[in-house]
Amino acid sequence: MGTSEKWPLYEIGSHDHLHAVGVTIAAWNQIETVHQALIQLIFPQHMRAGLHVSELLGYDTKVKLIRTNLADIATKQELELLEVFFKHANICKDYRNILCHAEYPNQPPGELIMMVNGASKDRSTIDLLRFTVPGIQEMADATYLTAAFGFNLWRL
Per-residue tens of pLDDT for the chain, all 156 residues: 556 677 777 767 677 888 899 999 999 999 999 999 999 888 888 888 888 888 899 999 999 999 999 998 899 999 999 999 999 999 999 999 888 888 776 666 677 887 777 655 666 667 778 888 899 999 999 999 999 999 998 765
The two counts, helices (H) then strands (E), for the chain are 5, 2
Distances (CA, A) of 47 to 36, 51, 62, 82, 100: 10, 6, 16, 21, 30
Q: For the chain, first and last CA: distance in Å?
A: 41
CA proximity to 12, closest of 131, 114, 98, 127: 114
Provide the residue ranges of all domains of the chain, joining segments of one domain with +: 15-99+134-151
Which DSSP symbol is given to 107? B
